[in-house]
Amino acid sequence: MVCIRYHFSNLHQPQYSESRFRMQLGSVQIPLLKFRSVNQISSRIIPLFSVRKRNCKLMDDIRAGCSSGGEPKSDGGGASIGLLVASTVTISLATANRVLYKLALVPMKEYPFFMAQTTTFGYVVIYFSILYARYKAGIVTTEMLGLPKSRFAAIGLLEALGVASGMAAAAMLPGPVIPILSQAFTIWQLLFSTLILKRRYSLNQILGCLLVAGGVIIAVGSGSDDGHILSHVGAFWPVLMIGSTALQATASILKEFVFIDSAKRLEGKTLDLFVVNSFGSGFQASFLFLLLPLLSNLKGIPFYELPSYFRSGMGCFLNIGETNQDCQGAPWLPLLYIAVNMCFNISALNLLKVSSALVSSLSITLSVPLSIYILTLPLPFMPGGSNLDAFFVTGVLVLFLGLMLYNFPQSAGQRSKSD
């Protein structure tokens, strides 16, 4: 038996980089159940499914489920077809999740903080409803609910800053750039998990992470050149997007630390995932509201105009009123993004259940180049499309190679060293 490890990530954003399998149950890092949202789905997580834990160490039980050899389970041709269908559905939904993340922000371009606040409160309702049902069913115990809330507050603060700044940046950036910059999550996570959790990584993971960093630099490094996809954007919004992934990566590391520490406090019992996500999302919604005066400065909105901002944001979201001519596509695009995000995270969890962490991770990784390509095409409410220069295409190829290398299967000896 081999213990499969999952990344914890904010279940809120499509970062959902999905180098190792990570989700936001928003991007389930989900920007539901953060992959991301994705940016997210996404981040070591405890599977929501009942998985038999055999021959696993205590710490491995907290971060992993056991699967025979870490390979997809197969019962013959029918199982292989089922796995192929599950993988195809997951890749399709992961790609749609990334594309709709940008499309949802087209009508809400001037109101990214309203969008972040609205979706976060929606996820709070979903999470706590599921948590209540699991508590009534006896899955969540009183001891789990009694864990110190200070760490959940820290997670919520980091995720609030990450979600708000990420949406503000994504609203201003060209579509194909967003999946590229989101992959910085992998770099930050490797760095912070090494510093905070003292985790050691294998050589192929380190080299893969360096290639991811190189791909991002190549893709956006010539942004000031005329004709480049970022030539009219400036440096602030790409830097803000990369900074938002650093905040979300730190939150994912804190989540992992909470799971590890809870093993001692709960005497070996596994902390239910929805306890972390529910309280983390609750604090995130609270901090988003409290930090609005500060965050609104990113869009040049004075404090005294915030009530008017929210009224206008609500009108734009519902697409009502004569002054909301630029809000075409709302509310259907934002609602469609939320629905697809939920479906994506459920599909990703199902694929993880019937296969392995490697299959899940590689399936989500394939969505990166696919979503970049789709976002270059003329789309509804984005009719112009984008032209990719040679630097950007080269950067995408280097980044994709790095993601594949990062997820390359490790030998048992390599796994023991990296863990």
- Tell me what the mean pLDDT of segment 93-119 comes to: 91
Say how far apart CA 221 and CA 311 lie, in whole Å. Answer: 39
Q: What percent of the chain has pLDDT over 90?
A: 30
More confident residue, 24 or 418: 418
Q: φ and ψ at 395, to 5 degrees?
A: -60, -40
**Alpha-carbon separation of residue 259 from 6, 44, 64 (angstroms):** 12, 10, 11
Q: Scanning the structure block, which residue is given the tokens 């791909």?
A: 215
- Tens of pLDDT, residue by residue over 365-387, are 889 999 999 998 888 888 777 77
Q: How many CA atoms lie within 13 A of 243 on its CB side?
A: 13
SS3 22: strand
Q: Which residue do the tokens 């609203």 mark?
A: 171
pLDDT of residue 100: 94
DSSP bridge pairs for 328: 330
The pLDDT score that the predictor gives to residue 133 is 96
pLDDT: is 116 or 345 the higher one? Answer: 116
pLDDT score of 11 more than 60 = no
Q: If we measure between CA atoms, which residue out of 357, 364, 365, 367 comes closest to residue 410? A: 357
Q: Residue 13: what pLDDT?
A: 40
Cβ-proximal residues to 282 (8 Å cutoff; 6+ apart), any chain: 124, 127, 128, 152, 156
Q: Is the peptide bond before 174 cis (omega within 30 degrees of 0)?
A: no
Q: Which residues contact 76 (CB under 8 A, 6 or more apart)?
A: none
Higher pLDDT: 286 or 269? It is 286
Q: Is the pLDDT of residue 155 over 70?
A: yes
Between 111 and 5, the higher pLDDT residue: 111
Residue 142 host element (H or E): helix 142-145
Per residue in 27-51, pLDDT (tens digit) is 333 333 344 344 344 344 433 333 3
| Residue 112, C-beta contacts closer than 8 angstroms, at least 6 positions apart | 105, 164, 167, 168, 170, 171, 299
Largest separation between any pair of C-alpha atoms in the chain: 65
Of the listed ranges 120-124, 131-135, 245-249, the least confidently predicted one is: 120-124
Query: In this model, does residue 138 exceed pLDDT 50?
Result: yes
Residue 233 has pLDDT above 50, yes or no: yes
Task: Please give the distance of CA 164 from its chain centroid, rounded to a whole number.
Answer: 14
Distances (CA, A) of 208 to 44, 68, 300, 367, 400: 18, 26, 38, 17, 9
Q: What is the pLDDT of residue 219?
A: 83
Instruction: For residue 66, give every residue at least 6 positions away whose Cβ sits within 8 Å of its Cβ, in sequence order, or none.
Output: 1, 2, 3, 4, 51, 52, 53, 54, 55, 56
Is the pLDDT at 267 greater than 70, yes or no? yes
Span 349-356, mean pLDDT? 73
Q: Higher confidence at residue 258 or residue 415?
A: 258
Tokens for 314, please give them. Answer: 């609500």
- Please state the rounded mean pLDDT for residues 310-321: 87
Q: Which residues pair with 382 in a beta bridge?
A: 379
pLDDT of residue 323: 67
Contact of 76 with 276, CB cutoff 8 Å:
no
**Tokens found for residue 380:** 């509804």
Q: Mean pLDDT of all residues in the chain?
A: 77
Name the token pair of 280: 């983390």
